[in-house]
A = this chain, B = another copy of it.
Amino acid sequence: MDLTQQSADELAGTAEAVRQTYDRLRGRNLALDMTRGKPGPDQLDLADGILTIVGAGETDGAGGDDYRNYGLLAGIPEARAFFADYMGVSAEEVVVGGNSSLNLMYDAISGAMLHGMPGGNASWNDQVKDGGPIKFICPVPGYDRHFAICERLGIEMITVDMTPDGPDMDAVEVLVADDASVKGIWCVPKYSNPSGEVYADAVVDRLAAMTVAAPDFRVIWDNAYAVHHLGDGPATVKNLLDACKQAGDADRVLMFGSTSKITHAGAGIAVLAASETNVADALKKLFYANIGFDKINQLRHLRFFGDQAGLLAHMDKQAALIGPKFAAVDAALEQHLGGKGIATWKKPKGGYFVSVDVLDGCAADVIRLAGEAGVKLTPAGSTWPHGNDPHDRNIRLAPTFPGIAEVEQAMEVFCACVEMACVAKLQGGAT
Protein backbone atom coordinates (compact mmCIF):
# COMPACT_ATOMS: atom_id res chain seq x y z
CA MET A 1 0.00 0.00 0.00
CA ASP A 2 2.07 2.83 -1.41
CA LEU A 3 0.66 5.91 0.33
CA THR A 4 1.81 8.18 -2.47
CA GLN A 5 -0.70 6.42 -4.70
CA GLN A 6 -3.67 6.72 -2.33
CA SER A 7 -6.71 8.81 -3.15
CA ALA A 8 -7.71 11.71 -0.96
CA ASP A 9 -10.31 9.53 0.80
CA GLU A 10 -7.84 6.74 1.36
CA LEU A 11 -5.30 9.23 2.73
CA ALA A 12 -7.92 10.62 5.11
CA GLY A 13 -8.49 7.13 6.45
CA THR A 14 -4.76 6.49 6.76
CA ALA A 15 -4.29 9.82 8.52
CA GLU A 16 -7.01 9.01 11.02
CA ALA A 17 -5.55 5.57 11.72
CA VAL A 18 -2.01 6.80 12.24
CA ARG A 19 -3.25 9.67 14.40
CA GLN A 20 -4.88 7.11 16.69
CA THR A 21 -1.68 5.09 16.79
CA TYR A 22 0.32 8.20 17.58
CA ASP A 23 -2.03 9.28 20.36
CA ARG A 24 -1.89 5.81 21.89
CA LEU A 25 1.93 5.82 21.80
CA ARG A 26 2.11 9.33 23.20
CA GLY A 27 -0.01 8.11 26.11
CA ARG A 28 2.89 5.91 27.17
CA ASN A 29 4.74 9.02 28.34
CA LEU A 30 8.07 7.79 27.04
CA ALA A 31 11.36 9.56 27.65
CA LEU A 32 13.78 8.05 25.13
CA ASP A 33 16.88 9.57 23.55
CA MET A 34 18.21 8.58 20.15
CA THR A 35 20.12 11.81 19.50
CA ARG A 36 23.81 11.02 19.83
CA GLY A 37 26.13 8.17 18.93
CA LYS A 38 26.85 7.17 22.49
CA PRO A 39 27.89 3.66 23.48
CA GLY A 40 25.50 1.79 25.73
CA PRO A 41 26.44 0.99 29.33
CA ASP A 42 26.87 -2.67 28.41
CA GLN A 43 29.44 -1.71 25.77
CA LEU A 44 31.29 0.40 28.33
CA ASP A 45 31.23 -2.47 30.83
CA LEU A 46 33.27 -4.51 28.36
CA ALA A 47 36.16 -2.09 28.85
CA ASP A 48 36.03 -1.74 32.62
CA GLY A 49 39.15 -3.86 32.93
CA ILE A 50 41.13 -0.93 31.54
CA LEU A 51 40.47 1.15 34.65
CA THR A 52 42.93 -0.66 36.91
CA ILE A 53 45.16 -2.43 34.40
CA VAL A 54 48.14 -0.13 35.03
CA GLY A 55 49.10 -0.08 38.69
CA ALA A 56 51.99 1.11 40.84
CA GLY A 57 55.32 -0.09 39.52
CA GLU A 58 53.91 -0.73 36.05
CA THR A 59 54.37 2.72 34.55
CA ASP A 60 57.77 2.42 32.88
CA GLY A 61 58.04 2.04 29.13
CA ALA A 62 59.96 -0.70 27.35
CA GLY A 63 62.79 1.81 26.87
CA GLY A 64 62.93 2.64 30.57
CA ASP A 65 61.09 5.96 30.37
CA ASP A 66 58.93 6.86 33.34
CA TYR A 67 55.54 7.49 31.76
CA ARG A 68 54.36 9.28 34.91
CA ASN A 69 56.58 12.23 33.98
CA TYR A 70 56.60 14.86 31.23
CA GLY A 71 57.69 14.26 27.68
CA LEU A 72 57.06 12.28 24.49
CA LEU A 73 54.75 14.71 22.71
CA ALA A 74 54.17 12.25 19.86
CA GLY A 75 53.04 9.55 22.26
CA ILE A 76 54.78 6.61 23.91
CA PRO A 77 56.67 4.44 21.42
CA GLU A 78 54.59 1.36 22.22
CA ALA A 79 51.39 3.26 21.45
CA ARG A 80 52.80 4.74 18.25
CA ALA A 81 53.64 1.21 17.08
CA PHE A 82 50.25 -0.17 18.10
CA PHE A 83 48.24 2.58 16.43
CA ALA A 84 50.50 2.43 13.39
CA ASP A 85 49.20 -1.10 12.91
CA TYR A 86 45.67 0.07 13.62
CA MET A 87 45.89 2.86 11.03
CA GLY A 88 47.98 0.92 8.50
CA VAL A 89 51.01 3.21 8.61
CA SER A 90 54.48 3.27 10.18
CA ALA A 91 55.15 4.36 13.76
CA GLU A 92 56.89 7.50 12.49
CA GLU A 93 53.65 8.42 10.73
CA VAL A 94 51.64 8.46 13.97
CA VAL A 95 50.93 10.95 16.73
CA VAL A 96 49.09 9.41 19.65
CA GLY A 97 47.13 12.20 21.27
CA GLY A 98 44.73 12.83 24.10
CA ASN A 99 41.17 11.72 24.52
CA SER A 100 39.59 13.41 21.53
CA SER A 101 40.08 12.95 17.79
CA LEU A 102 37.68 15.85 17.25
CA ASN A 103 40.23 17.93 19.13
CA LEU A 104 43.05 16.74 16.85
CA MET A 105 40.93 17.61 13.81
CA TYR A 106 39.98 21.04 15.16
CA ASP A 107 43.62 21.75 15.97
CA ALA A 108 44.71 20.63 12.49
CA ILE A 109 42.30 22.99 10.78
CA SER A 110 42.52 25.93 13.18
CA GLY A 111 46.31 25.44 13.05
CA ALA A 112 46.14 25.69 9.26
CA MET A 113 44.13 28.90 9.58
CA LEU A 114 46.77 30.39 11.89
CA HIS A 115 49.96 28.84 10.53
CA GLY A 116 49.25 27.11 7.23
CA MET A 117 49.86 23.57 6.04
CA PRO A 118 52.99 22.05 4.47
CA GLY A 119 52.94 22.75 0.75
CA GLY A 120 51.15 26.07 1.12
CA ASN A 121 52.90 29.38 0.92
CA ALA A 122 50.87 31.19 3.58
CA SER A 123 48.53 30.58 6.50
CA TRP A 124 44.95 30.06 5.45
CA ASN A 125 44.05 33.27 7.27
CA ASP A 126 46.51 35.19 5.14
CA GLN A 127 45.13 33.51 2.03
CA VAL A 128 41.64 34.63 3.09
CA LYS A 129 42.90 38.20 3.29
CA ASP A 130 44.21 37.96 -0.25
CA GLY A 131 41.49 36.00 -1.95
CA GLY A 132 38.31 35.37 -0.03
CA PRO A 133 37.10 32.46 2.03
CA ILE A 134 38.70 29.05 2.47
CA LYS A 135 36.37 26.29 1.25
CA PHE A 136 35.83 22.68 2.28
CA ILE A 137 33.93 20.00 0.44
CA CYS A 138 31.29 18.38 2.63
CA PRO A 139 29.70 15.13 1.46
CA VAL A 140 26.07 15.13 2.62
CA PRO A 141 24.52 13.85 4.71
CA GLY A 142 27.50 14.15 7.06
CA TYR A 143 28.66 14.69 10.64
CA ASP A 144 27.47 17.83 12.38
CA ARG A 145 30.65 18.31 14.39
CA HIS A 146 32.75 18.39 11.22
CA PHE A 147 30.50 21.07 9.80
CA ALA A 148 30.59 23.00 13.08
CA ILE A 149 34.38 23.28 12.86
CA CYS A 150 34.12 24.80 9.40
CA GLU A 151 31.35 27.13 10.44
CA ARG A 152 33.35 28.27 13.46
CA LEU A 153 36.47 28.97 11.45
CA GLY A 154 34.66 30.81 8.69
CA ILE A 155 35.27 28.05 6.16
CA GLU A 156 32.71 27.96 3.37
CA MET A 157 31.13 24.54 2.94
CA ILE A 158 30.36 23.13 -0.50
CA THR A 159 28.15 20.06 -0.41
CA VAL A 160 28.47 17.05 -2.68
CA ASP A 161 26.20 14.02 -2.63
CA MET A 162 27.14 10.75 -1.03
CA THR A 163 26.82 7.77 -3.33
CA PRO A 164 26.84 4.15 -2.15
CA ASP A 165 30.60 4.14 -2.89
CA GLY A 166 31.52 7.40 -1.16
CA PRO A 167 31.37 11.06 -2.23
CA ASP A 168 30.33 11.85 -5.79
CA MET A 169 33.86 12.00 -7.17
CA ASP A 170 32.84 13.56 -10.46
CA ALA A 171 31.66 16.57 -8.50
CA VAL A 172 34.65 16.53 -6.17
CA GLU A 173 37.18 16.45 -9.00
CA VAL A 174 35.60 19.48 -10.65
CA LEU A 175 35.56 21.45 -7.39
CA VAL A 176 39.23 20.90 -6.52
CA ALA A 177 40.71 21.16 -10.00
CA ASP A 178 40.81 24.93 -10.48
CA ASP A 179 39.96 26.63 -7.21
CA ALA A 180 42.97 26.92 -4.87
CA SER A 181 40.73 28.16 -2.08
CA VAL A 182 39.21 24.66 -1.83
CA LYS A 183 41.48 23.31 0.91
CA GLY A 184 39.86 20.15 2.11
CA ILE A 185 37.19 17.50 2.10
CA TRP A 186 35.63 15.75 5.08
CA CYS A 187 35.52 11.97 4.76
CA VAL A 188 34.32 9.23 7.11
CA PRO A 189 35.55 6.40 4.93
CA LYS A 190 34.10 3.42 6.76
CA TYR A 191 30.47 3.28 7.89
CA SER A 192 30.09 6.95 7.04
CA ASN A 193 28.28 9.16 9.54
CA PRO A 194 25.29 9.02 9.23
CA SER A 195 24.55 6.92 6.20
CA GLY A 196 26.93 4.01 6.67
CA GLU A 197 28.64 3.91 3.27
CA VAL A 198 32.01 2.21 2.90
CA TYR A 199 34.29 3.98 0.45
CA ALA A 200 35.06 1.94 -2.66
CA ASP A 201 38.66 1.43 -3.77
CA ALA A 202 38.02 3.52 -6.86
CA VAL A 203 36.95 6.47 -4.71
CA VAL A 204 40.11 6.16 -2.61
CA ASP A 205 42.20 6.07 -5.76
CA ARG A 206 40.48 9.10 -7.21
CA LEU A 207 40.93 11.07 -3.97
CA ALA A 208 44.64 10.26 -4.14
CA ALA A 209 45.16 10.94 -7.81
CA MET A 210 42.83 13.84 -8.60
CA THR A 211 44.37 17.10 -9.75
CA VAL A 212 44.14 19.63 -6.96
CA ALA A 213 44.71 23.35 -7.42
CA ALA A 214 45.63 24.04 -3.78
CA PRO A 215 49.14 22.82 -2.87
CA ASP A 216 47.99 22.71 0.77
CA PHE A 217 44.80 20.69 0.14
CA ARG A 218 43.98 18.00 2.72
CA VAL A 219 41.62 15.05 2.82
CA ILE A 220 40.40 14.94 6.43
CA TRP A 221 40.03 11.19 6.79
CA ASP A 222 38.05 10.62 9.98
CA ASN A 223 38.26 6.86 10.28
CA ALA A 224 36.13 6.91 13.41
CA TYR A 225 34.58 3.50 12.84
CA ALA A 226 37.54 1.50 11.55
CA VAL A 227 36.65 -1.61 13.55
CA HIS A 228 33.07 -0.80 14.57
CA HIS A 229 31.13 -3.47 12.70
CA LEU A 230 27.72 -4.90 13.54
CA GLY A 231 28.54 -8.58 13.37
CA ASP A 232 30.12 -9.39 10.02
CA GLY A 233 33.59 -8.16 10.91
CA PRO A 234 35.12 -4.84 9.83
CA ALA A 235 34.79 -3.83 6.20
CA THR A 236 37.97 -3.18 4.26
CA VAL A 237 38.80 0.29 2.95
CA LYS A 238 41.83 0.89 0.78
CA ASN A 239 44.66 2.72 2.56
CA LEU A 240 44.49 6.34 1.42
CA LEU A 241 47.98 7.29 2.62
CA ASP A 242 49.44 4.46 0.56
CA ALA A 243 47.38 5.53 -2.43
CA CYS A 244 48.53 9.14 -2.02
CA LYS A 245 52.15 8.03 -1.87
CA GLN A 246 51.70 6.01 -5.03
CA ALA A 247 50.10 9.01 -6.69
CA GLY A 248 53.05 11.15 -5.63
CA ASP A 249 51.36 13.33 -3.00
CA ALA A 250 51.93 11.73 0.42
CA ASP A 251 51.02 14.97 2.19
CA ARG A 252 47.47 15.07 0.83
CA VAL A 253 45.78 13.21 3.69
CA LEU A 254 45.42 13.54 7.46
CA MET A 255 43.93 10.38 8.93
CA PHE A 256 42.30 10.26 12.35
CA GLY A 257 41.16 7.51 14.66
CA SER A 258 39.95 7.15 18.21
CA THR A 259 39.18 4.55 20.85
CA SER A 260 36.34 6.62 22.29
CA LYS A 261 33.85 4.06 21.01
CA ILE A 262 36.17 1.13 21.72
CA THR A 263 37.03 1.58 25.40
CA HIS A 264 35.37 4.42 27.34
CA ALA A 265 33.91 7.42 25.51
CA GLY A 266 35.81 10.51 26.64
CA ALA A 267 38.57 8.45 28.27
CA GLY A 268 39.94 6.95 25.08
CA ILE A 269 42.94 7.67 22.90
CA ALA A 270 42.97 9.73 19.71
CA VAL A 271 45.39 9.22 16.84
CA LEU A 272 46.67 11.22 13.89
CA ALA A 273 48.31 9.29 11.06
CA ALA A 274 49.93 11.06 8.12
CA SER A 275 53.12 11.51 6.15
CA GLU A 276 56.23 12.27 8.17
CA THR A 277 56.10 15.83 6.83
CA ASN A 278 52.58 16.27 8.13
CA VAL A 279 53.47 14.59 11.43
CA ALA A 280 56.43 16.94 11.89
CA ASP A 281 54.16 19.88 11.14
CA ALA A 282 51.52 18.66 13.60
CA LEU A 283 54.13 18.17 16.31
CA LYS A 284 55.50 21.66 15.72
CA LYS A 285 51.99 23.06 16.08
CA LEU A 286 51.40 20.94 19.18
CA PHE A 287 54.67 22.01 20.79
CA TYR A 288 53.32 25.47 21.53
CA ALA A 289 50.08 24.12 22.95
CA ASN A 290 51.03 21.12 25.02
CA ILE A 291 53.87 19.49 26.98
CA GLY A 292 52.52 16.04 26.16
CA PHE A 293 49.40 13.90 26.28
CA ASP A 294 48.36 11.45 28.99
CA LYS A 295 50.89 8.65 28.60
CA ILE A 296 49.45 6.56 31.41
CA ASN A 297 46.18 6.31 29.54
CA GLN A 298 48.05 5.34 26.38
CA LEU A 299 49.71 2.58 28.39
CA ARG A 300 46.37 1.41 29.77
CA HIS A 301 45.08 0.92 26.25
CA LEU A 302 48.09 -1.14 25.18
CA ARG A 303 47.95 -3.37 28.21
CA PHE A 304 44.20 -3.79 27.86
CA PHE A 305 44.22 -4.81 24.20
CA GLY A 306 47.53 -6.64 24.12
CA ASP A 307 47.52 -6.69 20.34
CA GLN A 308 45.33 -5.96 17.32
CA ALA A 309 43.68 -9.35 17.66
CA GLY A 310 42.70 -8.43 21.21
CA LEU A 311 41.21 -5.19 19.99
CA LEU A 312 39.25 -6.97 17.26
CA ALA A 313 37.98 -9.58 19.71
CA HIS A 314 36.81 -6.72 21.93
CA MET A 315 34.90 -5.20 19.00
CA ASP A 316 33.26 -8.53 18.24
CA LYS A 317 31.79 -8.40 21.75
CA GLN A 318 30.51 -4.90 21.10
CA ALA A 319 28.97 -6.02 17.81
CA ALA A 320 27.10 -8.75 19.67
CA LEU A 321 25.54 -6.05 21.85
CA ILE A 322 24.67 -3.40 19.26
CA GLY A 323 24.02 -5.55 16.20
CA PRO A 324 20.58 -6.57 17.55
CA LYS A 325 19.67 -2.91 18.14
CA PHE A 326 20.36 -2.05 14.52
CA ALA A 327 18.41 -5.12 13.47
CA ALA A 328 15.49 -3.90 15.60
CA VAL A 329 15.61 -0.51 13.88
CA ASP A 330 15.58 -2.11 10.46
CA ALA A 331 12.80 -4.52 11.39
CA ALA A 332 10.61 -1.70 12.68
CA LEU A 333 11.22 0.41 9.59
CA GLU A 334 10.40 -2.57 7.37
CA GLN A 335 7.29 -3.50 9.36
CA HIS A 336 5.78 -0.03 9.68
CA LEU A 337 7.06 1.83 6.64
CA GLY A 338 8.01 -0.86 4.12
CA GLY A 339 6.35 -0.38 0.75
CA LYS A 340 4.58 2.82 1.76
CA GLY A 341 6.67 5.00 -0.52
CA ILE A 342 7.29 7.64 2.13
CA ALA A 343 10.71 6.66 3.49
CA THR A 344 13.96 5.01 2.46
CA TRP A 345 16.72 3.99 4.82
CA LYS A 346 20.20 2.51 4.93
CA LYS A 347 21.18 -0.90 6.24
CA PRO A 348 24.65 -0.15 7.61
CA LYS A 349 27.13 -2.92 8.38
CA GLY A 350 28.83 -0.83 11.05
CA GLY A 351 29.12 2.57 12.65
CA TYR A 352 26.66 4.22 14.97
CA PHE A 353 23.73 5.43 12.89
CA VAL A 354 20.82 4.61 10.64
CA SER A 355 20.07 7.31 8.11
CA VAL A 356 16.43 7.68 7.05
CA ASP A 357 15.14 9.85 4.23
CA VAL A 358 11.46 10.75 4.42
CA LEU A 359 9.39 12.70 1.91
CA ASP A 360 10.87 16.10 1.17
CA GLY A 361 9.74 18.74 3.61
CA CYS A 362 8.79 16.25 6.35
CA ALA A 363 11.91 15.63 8.49
CA ALA A 364 11.44 18.56 10.85
CA ASP A 365 7.81 17.60 11.37
CA VAL A 366 8.76 14.00 12.15
CA ILE A 367 11.32 15.11 14.71
CA ARG A 368 8.90 17.54 16.34
CA LEU A 369 6.16 14.91 16.55
CA ALA A 370 8.56 12.34 18.00
CA GLY A 371 9.73 14.84 20.59
CA GLU A 372 6.15 15.53 21.62
CA ALA A 373 5.72 11.79 22.10
CA GLY A 374 8.81 11.51 24.29
CA VAL A 375 11.36 10.34 21.72
CA LYS A 376 14.26 12.74 21.29
CA LEU A 377 15.92 12.63 17.87
CA THR A 378 18.88 14.52 16.41
CA PRO A 379 17.55 17.95 15.33
CA ALA A 380 16.35 18.21 11.76
CA GLY A 381 19.02 19.38 9.37
CA SER A 382 21.92 18.42 11.62
CA THR A 383 23.44 16.20 8.95
CA TRP A 384 23.85 19.22 6.69
CA PRO A 385 26.10 22.29 6.91
CA HIS A 386 24.65 25.06 9.07
CA GLY A 387 21.94 22.61 10.22
CA ASN A 388 20.07 23.28 7.02
CA ASP A 389 18.89 20.27 5.01
CA PRO A 390 17.53 21.94 1.86
CA HIS A 391 15.20 18.99 1.25
CA ASP A 392 14.19 18.71 4.92
CA ARG A 393 14.23 14.94 4.54
CA ASN A 394 17.23 13.35 6.30
CA ILE A 395 16.97 11.97 9.84
CA ARG A 396 19.79 10.34 11.77
CA LEU A 397 18.84 7.61 14.22
CA ALA A 398 21.31 6.60 16.94
CA PRO A 399 20.26 3.28 18.40
CA THR A 400 23.33 2.29 20.44
CA PHE A 401 22.69 3.98 23.77
CA PRO A 402 19.14 2.85 24.66
CA GLY A 403 18.36 -0.74 25.59
CA ILE A 404 16.83 -2.90 22.90
CA ALA A 405 13.32 -2.69 24.36
CA GLU A 406 13.66 1.09 24.34
CA VAL A 407 14.89 1.03 20.76
CA GLU A 408 11.79 -0.94 19.80
CA GLN A 409 9.49 1.47 21.63
CA ALA A 410 11.22 4.48 20.11
CA MET A 411 11.03 3.03 16.62
CA GLU A 412 7.30 2.39 16.93
CA VAL A 413 6.87 6.07 17.77
CA PHE A 414 9.28 7.16 15.05
CA CYS A 415 7.52 5.18 12.34
CA ALA A 416 4.12 6.55 13.38
CA CYS A 417 5.54 10.06 13.22
CA VAL A 418 7.00 9.47 9.75
CA GLU A 419 3.68 8.22 8.51
CA MET A 420 1.72 11.02 10.14
CA ALA A 421 3.99 13.77 8.78
CA CYS A 422 4.20 12.28 5.31
CA VAL A 423 0.47 11.62 5.02
CA ALA A 424 -0.17 15.22 6.02
CA LYS A 425 2.26 16.31 3.35
CA LEU A 426 0.52 14.12 0.77
CA GLN A 427 -2.78 15.62 1.87
CA GLY A 428 -1.27 19.05 1.34
CA GLY A 429 -1.77 20.05 4.95
CA ALA A 430 0.27 20.30 8.10
CA THR A 431 0.37 17.92 11.04
Q: Which residues of A contact B (CB under 8 A)?
A: 36, 38-39, 41, 44-45, 47-49, 51-52, 54-59, 66-71, 98-100, 102-103, 106-107, 110, 113-115, 125, 129, 145, 148-149, 152-153, 260, 264-267, 287-297
Contact = CB atoms under 8 A, between A and B. Distances in A.
A192 to B, nearest CB: 19
Nearest to A261: B70
B266 A106 contact: no
B290 A106 contact: yes
Query: What copy number does this chain have within its complex?
Result: 2
30 contacts: A36-B70, A38-B69, A39-B69, A41-B66, A44-B66, A44-B68, A48-B56, A48-B59, A48-B68, A49-B56, A51-B56, A68-B265, A68-B267, A69-B264, A70-B260, A71-B266, A99-B293, A100-B290, A102-B291, A103-B289, A103-B290, A106-B288, A115-B152, A152-B288, A266-B291, A266-B293, A266-B294, A267-B295, A294-B294, A294-B297
Contacts of A98: 98-99, 294
A89 B295 CA distance: 30
A145 B107 CA distance: 18
Contact of A125 (B106, B125, B289, B295): B125
Nearest to A37: B70
Contacts of A99: 98, 293-294
Contacts of A49: 56
Given A48-B55, A110-B114, A266-B295, 12 more contacts: A38-B70, A45-B56, A51-B59, A59-B264, A68-B266, A98-B99, A113-B114, A125-B125, A145-B291, A152-B288, A264-B296, A297-B297
Q: A interface, by DSSP: helix, strand, loop or mixed?
A: loop
A421 to B, nearest CB: 29
Nearest to A69: B265
Given A68-B267, A70-B36, A295-B267, A102 B149 contact: no
Contacts of A55: 48, 51-52
A47 B152 CA distance: 40
Contacts of A292: 100, 266
A15 to B, nearest CB: 39
A52 B50 CA distance: 10
B294 A69 contact: no
Contacts of A265: 68-70, 291
A110 B58 CA distance: 37
A290 B97 CA distance: 13
Nearest to A289: B106
A70 B380 CA distance: 22
